[in-house]
Structure 1
Amino acid sequence: MSSDRYINFANSDMGRRLVKAVGLPTPMHLERWQAGRLRPVEGTLLISAGPLADHIRLFAQRLTDSLYSFGSDIPGATAWAAEQGPKLKAVVFDASVLVRPEQLKQLREFFQPLLRSLDHCAHIVILGLAPSTLEAPVAASTQQAIEGFSRSLAKEMRNGGTVQLLHVDEGAQDQLEGALRFFLSPKSAFISGQVIRLSSCTAQVKDWSRPLAGRKAVVTGAARGIGAAIAETLARDGAQVVLLDVPQARSDLEALAARLGGQALPLDICSAEAVTQLLEHLNGGIDILVHNAGITRDKTLANMPVDFWDSVLAVNLEAPQTLTQALLDNGTLNDDARIVLMASISGLAGNRGQTNYTTSKAGLIGLARAMAPALQPRGISINAVAPGFIETRMTAEMPFTLREAGRRMSSLGQGGLPQDVAEAVAWLSQPGSGAVTGQVLRVCGQSVIGA
């Protein structure tokens, strides 16, 4: 049962009638990935026609047991007719061929008839091209227009539905399966209205049941909360995990490491010995580095003590910069490694009383963007994950009104769970997710903050 009492009430028999009578929103309990699940899509998947959609034909039947097509002949698929087929759990629309404004009407013609046929917690992915890659201004303008459509459609979704736009570069088509396995499944339950670009990447996932098998991961701030959820999810997906947290959290850290079959490393990442101790512990190299450790020391700038500013910048920004560079210089980060930085939507939008925190998180976003080009020749990706309101012990202690505002200020009308952040990190940690680098993935339910 969710800790969100409003959702629990609104989804009860009596609550459903009451909130409908007074016109209040009814957020839905989101579906999330469960152990033992066999397919990314448990329900009907509809795929449109188009050149990018043609690549999906090669693996579409690995995504679902119920496949439908619209405007194309996909092996094993049934032709879709609005209001005649089953409810749709997932939809892929190829918009890469839209290069003139008059073609944008195809968006309305495709989506309008099927919106009433969507199942609960449906996931829609629109495929397009990055406008910056198109020479013709009209074509670039048309593809940019699709972003506005996708973000607005995401805000119109009901019953826990989501919408994403994937820009697919030439040569990145073979990484569509990994992206769709994530964005069409409950693993992306709390992500909506996002635009992600896929570039070419030679690395591939060999076993979709354990996509991180054979890879070694380091997670900082791993003793509890989001960090613990990340460690658990990486281990679930096959990674060998090294869990790092402050010495004060040793008991929790060691208990989690024992449960996951990993290693515990009590370490203050801001200490003078942090680099030396980490390098000594990581003989043999690592493939995944997750900088999750972070602190808050909130005050308005007029009242902020020096130690509040210095400590937050040291933990949240300076330590990730220093440790990442040391691991690169020492050769500890292997080729095709994945680096994930834990940012925040407040780093994109700012937040009153958090100038130190938002400065540090914006700095992490800048680090991902700045380092990505230099790391690409080695196949290393670096990205930032920006959570919104996530249900943790910290948010549970917030004043009631602030907590409720944080929960409701998103298209999904609720807060996310640590698992939602962990699933995003796990996807970005996969071999094929080197197709995504220098980007920010918001896990915020399409929060209005920073939208």
Structure 2
Amino acid sequence: MKDRYLDFVNSPFGASVARSIGLPQPEVLRRHAQGRAEFDGIAAIGAGPSPTLFEPLLTLLTSLGMTSVAHESALGWLSVAARHGAMSGRFEARAPGAPPNDRVQALIFDATGITDSTQLHALYGFFHDALRSVAKSGRIVVLGLPPESCASPRAWTAQRALEGMARSLGKEARGGISANLVQVEPGGDFEGALRFLLSPRSAYVSGQVVRIDATPANPPADWNQPLAGKRALVTGAAQGIGAAIAQVLADRGAHVIGLDVPQAQDALDQTMLALEDAWPSQGAHTALVADITAPDAPATIAAALLAMGGVHIVVHNAGITRDKTIAKMTEAAWDSVIDVNLSAQERIDDLLLDQHVLHDGGRIIGVSSISGIAGNPGQTNYATSKAGVIGRVQSMTGPLRTRGITINAVAPGFIETQMTARIPLGLREAGRRMNSMSQGGRPVDVAETIAWLASPASAGITGNVVRVCGQSLIGA
């Protein structure tokens, strides 16, 4: 659905009106587009004492074609760059109003060496100097350690403090700029995460904490097609967010098996045909019709997938709402939402795992919601089911490690869909504006996040719940 306010305040006349009466002016977010470079410009580098990630970070920026400049807090960066023969320089703060081509595209701060709260002052020095230098739709990434991996209580305390910094930066930056914290366990590979978080594909992901363990990553041969050779099951794929997930996974190289209920077969067939038309070299994608709550559904789905050779990725997107306050809610409304949104996932996964339909080293990705984090009036059933999706991620992380399978979830906020278009105007506008981006997200924002979690390069990312909500104020 069109956001007319966003369009208005980004027109010449609307921008003038908004400035004159003090209306918020959300930025038109830069998203991935075919033919447009994903990475360009300058990354400003800052650091606390004894940073540990300069070497892999420089290698990554070089491979992305980004130039670096070192803030005074990270002078060791220049010697690393010189050793690798990489072009770099010293950071100079830009004044407000500097031309866009004179601004940096990313701020990256290596906080992995911070072991005491007194050393957090380095964050102030860097971001005080650098925040106003970031271009619109720029990126801020803080690199730290998982607090529980720290050897001392003081180090744990200081690393946990980084969350408050990163989330606050996301709320202060504005201009479509995102800020996220990546906690890298010693030995962890953060390339896939930074490629996503520095790119336009993460336009609506901000204020998040991503944890990366030391599991060896498996970088794809082609970063533009990281899912080539993979088969992906997407439930609820006929339309809306599910169709967007199918499209992005196909764009990233996967063969998509789209699943939906019999009533949606026509729409599902059209979605799968559209994938074939857009990427003819991949051949036909597969439409699978089933009611996931039927008693025989897990066996039916497992048999169909086994006949194709199994799957590498399972995306549990299917979901329904039956909104009423609990005092007015029927028993059937409660049971149906829990069954579709949560219990059916458990039953299907149990069989796919027991029969090894999901390959070792595979990916399970659930679609939760900020309602599952914060709750929502009139949605006790929905919020319960979506909180259960988060519980499933947390409870299954350990058992799945032995097979190299990761399990994560995305938690969308206000996304522009047919469902949100039916929300009354006042509530709809509140949903759009109550986040750091001051606008709703798009189905593609959810889909891009899922494609990142599905990548072979995300082997070290498991047990994460990533909100795709523009840093919503709800549940923040």
Partner of 2:250: 235
- 1: distance between equivalents of 2:58 and 2:420? 43
1:436 matched to 2:435:
no
- 2: distance between equivalents of 1:255 and 1:122? 36
1:341 matched to 2:366:
yes
1:42 matched to 2:40:
yes
Partner of 2:61: 60
Deviates more, 1:194-203 or 1:310-319: 194-203
1:80 matched to 2:79:
no
- Partner AA of 2:289 in structure 1: P
- 2: distance between equivalents of 1:346 and 1:378? 31
- 1: distance between equivalents of 2:187 and 2:203? 28
1:327 to 336, 348, 352: 352
Partner of 2:305: 282
Q: Can you list the C-alpha shifts for 1:49-92, whole angstroms capped at 9, x where unaligned?
A: 53212221222112234333332122222332223993111121
* Contact 1:41-1:90 within 8 A present in 2 as well: no
- 2: distance between equivalents of 1:370 and 1:314? 19
- 1: distance between equivalents of 2:61 and 2:16? 40
* Contact 2:107-2:134 within 8 A present in 1 as well: no
- 2: distance between equivalents of 1:377 and 1:81? 48
Shift of 1:387: 0.2
Partner of 2:11: 12
Partner of 1:265: 288
1:122 matched to 2:138:
yes
Query: 1:268-417 alignment to 2 at 5 Å?
Result: 268-283=291-306, 284-417=309-442
- 2: distance between equivalents of 1:61 and 1:349? 40
- 2: distance between equivalents of 1:88 and 1:340? 33
Partner of 2:98: none
* Contact 1:47-1:53 within 8 A present in 2 as well: no
SS at match of 1:51: coil
Shift of 1:258: 2.1
Q: Can you list the C-alpha shifts for 1:257-283, whole angstroms capped at 9, x where unaligned?
A: 122231000111011221121112112
Partner of 1:197: 211
Q: Can you list the C-alpha shifts for 1:199-238, whole angstroms capped at 9, x where unaligned?
A: 0222412210101111110000000000000000000000
* Contact 1:129-1:167 within 8 A present in 2 as well: yes
Partner of 2:201: 187
* Contact 2:61-2:67 within 8 A present in 1 as well: no
1:27 matched to 2:50:
no
* Contact 1:270-1:319 within 8 A present in 2 as well: yes
Shift of 1:434: 2.0
- Partner AA of 2:425 in structure 1: F
Deviates more, 1:135-144 or 1:122-131: 135-144
**Structure 1: any 5+ residue segments left out of the alignment?**
none
The number of residues matched between the two structures is: 447
Partner of 2:223: 208
**Structure 2: any 5+ residue segments left out of the alignment?**
96-100, 276-283
- 2: distance between equivalents of 1:399 and 1:336? 44
* Contact 1:190-1:445 within 8 A present in 2 as well: yes
* Contact 1:368-1:384 within 8 A present in 2 as well: yes
SS at match of 1:337: strand
- 2: distance between equivalents of 1:66 and 1:170? 26
- 1: distance between equivalents of 2:52 and 2:217? 23
Shift of 1:300: 0.3
Query: 1:209-224 alignment to 2 at 5 Å?
Result: 209-224=224-239
SS at match of 2:180: strand
* Contact 1:383-1:439 within 8 A present in 2 as well: yes
Deviates more, 1:73-82 or 1:322-331: 73-82
- Partner AA of 1:59 in structure 2: L
SS at match of 2:414: coil
SS at match of 2:190: helix
Partner of 2:164: 148
Shift of 1:167: 0.5
Tell me the percent identity: 48
* Contact 2:319-2:340 within 8 A present in 1 as well: yes
1:176 matched to 2:224:
no
- 1: distance between equivalents of 2:209 and 2:60? 23
Q: Can you list the C-alpha shifts for 1:357-378, whole angstroms capped at 9, x where unaligned?
A: 0000000100010001010111
* Contact 1:295-1:316 within 8 A present in 2 as well: yes
- Partner AA of 2:468 in structure 1: V
SS at match of 1:303: coil
- Partner AA of 2:197 in structure 1: F
- Partner AA of 1:355 in structure 2: T
- 1: distance between equivalents of 2:10 and 2:331? 47
Shift of 1:150: 1.0
TM-score where L is the length of structure 1:
0.97
